[in-house]
Amino acid sequence: MHTVPELVREHHRGKQTPYIIAEPVNKSHLILVPQYASLADIATLRNDAYGAEVEGNLSLAEQLWIRVLVAASGQDIQAVRALQRIALSRQNLPNLVTQDVKEGGKGEQEKGSFLLQTFQFETVTVDAKGTITNRRNLEAKYFVEDLGNGVTLEMVQIPGGTFMMGSPATEAKRYDSESPQHQVTVPAFFMGRYPVTQVQYQAIVGSNPSNFKRANCPVEQVNWNEAVEFCKRLSQKTGRNYRLPSEAEWEYACRAITSTPFYFGETITTDLVNYDGTVTPYASAPKGVYRKETAEVGKFPPNAFGLYDMHGNVWEWCQDYSHDNYQGAPTDGSAWLTGGNSTTRLLRGGSWILNPEFCLCAIRFWNTPGNRNDNIGFRLVVVLA
């Protein structure tokens, strides 16, 4: 290796004056010499790659994940899985009509197509004490379903990908039913931005069974059979196949590329989620309030996919039968409708009445299809060909 003065003498060049060009601050972590990359360099690059991925910028995300993989000498499993997710997303994203229409905008929609719009939102990350350590401004795409009489339904685009379903053995307050943690590949789909609200349920069914009657609160007191009937009626009205999510789709959508106990991070607080905050907190979070009722949808921050109320508020019905654990579970994102107990169905997400540990990403409960409760609701999924 030569120094600049040596090179000048060797090639008989005149005196040269070195100068420095300052790169933008947002490029300061890009790794020029991979073998000298520090763990902090790789962690920063990984965060940027995650951000690009959830924003839907797959080309940038792919480049950043490749940089992570190179810097980690090919040993970064998160980068490998991310590149698999990106490849799957490109294969599975439906061919939709996409226009750059901001939230609240209008546009003509072609028959048989979907007009994708964009909305902006802010996500937050917290540490084990529940202190917000990071805020990010993100975007997601969605389409609007007209339910009539001014009532609409917003369906958010969820990219396909691969994730680890269940909880690791080291996660606090976990249950054996969340084992073994296993890799699942989920094709792209659309999911309700919020749980189904009372005004939406009323628009399709013509009645509102909820105990806490407010138009924009989640519908509750709806059993699994009634949730399925709602999906059938909505499908007939729209010509699209609406249904309940599989358990794998639900957890994948809830996590939104995170692997922490909650999509917010290491814990939750009642500033972020509607649950009973007067009991023992999760991790080192402070105690909070107990609202003793459902909250209006969209009151709390969303996850990185732009989905609201995936933790707390109301339990959400899934398609699957209940099983004691994940031994033999599907790995393709489909509902598990073999073996297990066919007389019960899965619930995910926790509710307003429960402790924080019952709101974890991986928590799984079940109930009989005919059971109603004022802390049980549901959320919709649709897959577009």
Domain ranges of the chain: 4-91, 110-382
How does pLDDT run across 16-37, given as a tens digit for each residue?
A: 554 444 444 445 555 655 666 7
Tell me: pLDDT of 15 over 80: no
* Res 4: pLDDT: 46
In this structure, are residues 218 and 199 in contact, taking their beta carbons and an 8 Å threshold?
no
The DSSP code for 314 is: S
Mean pLDDT to the nearest integer, 150-161: 98
Structure tokens at 104: 């609240």
The lowest-confidence range among 52-61, 284-293, 330-339, 357-366 is: 52-61
Q: Degrees (nearest 5) of the Cα angle 304, 118, 90?
A: 70
Calculate helix-pair angle for 77-92, 39-54, nearest 10 degrees.
Answer: 20
What is d(CA 176, CA 174) in angstroms, rounded to the nearest whole number?
7
Tell me: pLDDT of 7 over 50: no
From the CB of residue 14, how many other CB atoms can be counted at a distance below 10 Å? 5
**Rg (the chain; Cα; Å):** 24
Mean pLDDT to the nearest integer, 102-118: 60
| Strands in 204-340 per DSSP E | 242-243, 315-322
Tell me: pLDDT of 75 over 80: no
- Rounded to the nearest integer, the mean pLDDT of the chain is 87
Say whether 318 sits in a helix, a strand or coil. Answer: strand
End-to-end alpha carbon distance in the chain: 57
Say whether 264 sits in a helix, a strand or coil. Answer: coil
The domain 110-382 is classified under which CATH number: 3.40.50.300, 3.40.50.2300, 2.70.150.10, 3.90.1580.10? 3.90.1580.10
* Res 60: pLDDT: 82
Calculate helix-pair angle for 58-71, 39-54, nearest 10 degrees.
Answer: 160
* pLDDT-derived band at 82, boundaries 50, 70, 90: confident
SS (H, E, C) 26-69: HHCCCCCCHHHCCHHHHHHHHHHHHHHHHCCCHHHHHHHHHHHH
What is d(CA 51, CA 186) in angstroms, rounded to the nearest whole number?
20
What is d(CA 334, CA 248) in angstroms, rounded to the nearest whole number?
7
Spatial CA neighbour of 246 closest among 315, 342, 305, 330: 330
- pTM metric for this prediction: 0.77
* pLDDT-derived band at 54, boundaries 50, 70, 90: low
Mean pLDDT to the nearest integer, 115-121: 96
> b or e along 179-206 (b: 16 or more beta carbons within 10 Å of the residue's beta carbon)?
bebeebbbbbbbbbbbbbbbbbbbbbbe
